[in-house]
Amino acid sequence: MDKMTDTIEAFLSLRRKATINDVARLAGVSKKTVSRVINNSPSVHARTRDAISEVIARISFQPDPQARGLAFRRSFLIGLIYDNPNAQYIVNMQMGVLDRLRGTGNELVVHPCDWRSDDFIPELRQFLEHQRLAGVIILPPIAEDRRLLDLLDEMEVPRVRVTARAGASNQPTISGQEIVSHDHIGCAEASAHIALLGHRRIGYIGGNLDYPSAHERRRGFDAGLAQHGCAIAPDLDEGGNYSFASGYEAGQRLLTRPDRPTAIICANDEMAAGAYKAAYESGLRIPQDLTVVGFDDAPIADRLSPPLTTVRLPTRDMARMAANLLISPEPSTISHLQVDSKLVVRGSSAKAPNP
């Protein structure tokens, strides 16, 4: 025992990064046995395991991911693939993934891409062929792209999709694991909230229909209103594309009508901010003259005056869950994890003005 300690100290004085060979030598076993300990192989005697673990701790050995990856024929990198302009969303997702990855020896490789490009699939194929990723997480809207999913299947890359649409909807079922956000829950809360405030003439500014979220949210808003026997006025049903500009323009159209709405529901906060601008320019006060609600709880939501009533999705948690599906030791049989959105009431919603 003393002799071993001596040798360890001799090793430490070298100030060199430890390898599996060092551990094997210092513990007096073969490197294969050390490898077994690292990988929690069952057939190692408890005594041996403890001795080796001791040495590993003393010389703070960490297996080299490159070497391990080479032998395993896969890396310890998780890829995050997306084409999404919402910076806060992306950063939240990254944080969530990293929350789960921290301490596991896996790292996060970010890979934004251009969905519209002809090169979209070839570029991703090259990326995936080059890096043998431990897994990838795909964010909306490209989580719906069949070509991408097929590519991942073909290359046998473990994947988790993040999406707003449950596989059960009109889309053909997509196999594999997914995190499904129930956008409609919070939306129903939000629109019910508006109905309860007495609004009956209600306008809508919708999201980009390429995004499943646009459909999910609309579904939720409709449901919440229906609960109270009301609905979005058909003549106040505007299409948008999730951008500030589209919200502004739709807002102008809605608010310059003689029979303008007393409340506007927006499929995201960006468009709600656009609606604010239109309201401001029309001389309408929020919430006295006009109620506005959004979706996302984006940073802009509480920068607006008054702060925006909106719906929040636990983005970071979703990312954590996605990462967990990829790296948790026992391959989960669960393929669909669902999370709910939630109404956040702030200052932009108030009782409908008396007629």
Query: According to CB under 8 A, which one of 273, 311, 343, 350 is a site residue for a copy of itself?
Result: 273
If the CB atoms of residues 20 and 300 are measured against DNA, the closer one turns out to be: 20
Q: Rounded CA gap, 89 and 343, in Å?
A: 18
Query: According to CB under 8 A, which one of 27, 98, 185, 188 is a site residue for a copy of itself?
Result: 98
Query: According to CB under 8 A, which one of 23, 29, 55, 75 is a site residue for a copy of itself?
Result: 75
If the CB atoms of residues 44 and 231 are measured against DNA, the closer one turns out to be: 44
* Residues 63-82, interacting with DNA (CB under 7 A): 63-64, 67-68, 70-73
What number of other Cβ atoms are within 10 A of residue 131's Cβ? 17
- Got the DSSP string for 247-301? HHHHHHHHHTSTT--SEEEESSHHHHHHHHHHHHHTTPPTTTT-EEE-SS--GGG
Residue 21 touches which of DNA, a copy of itself, none (Cβ within 5-8 Å per kind) = DNA
Residue 116 as a binder of DNA (CB under 7 A): the answer is: no
- Residue 236 is classified by DSSP as G
The answer for residues whose C-beta is within 8 angstroms of residue 64's C-beta and 6 or more apart is 19
Among the listed ranges 44-52, 177-185, 296-304, 316-324, the one in contact with a copy of itself (CB under 8 A) is: 296-304
Number of residues engaging DNA in binding (CB under 7 A): 33
Residue 299 as a binder of a copy of itself (CB under 8 A): the answer is: yes
Radius of gyration of the chain (CA): 27
CB of 148 to DNA, least distance (A): 25
Is residue 89 a contact partner of residue 315, using CB atoms and an 8 Å limit? yes
Task: Mark out the alpha helices in 79-165 (DSSP H runs).
Answer: 87-101, 120-130, 146-155
If the CB atoms of residues 48 and 53 are measured against DNA, the closer one turns out to be: 48
Q: Site residues (CB under 7 A) for DNA?
A: 17-21, 28-36, 38-39, 42-45, 47-49, 61-64, 67-68, 70-73
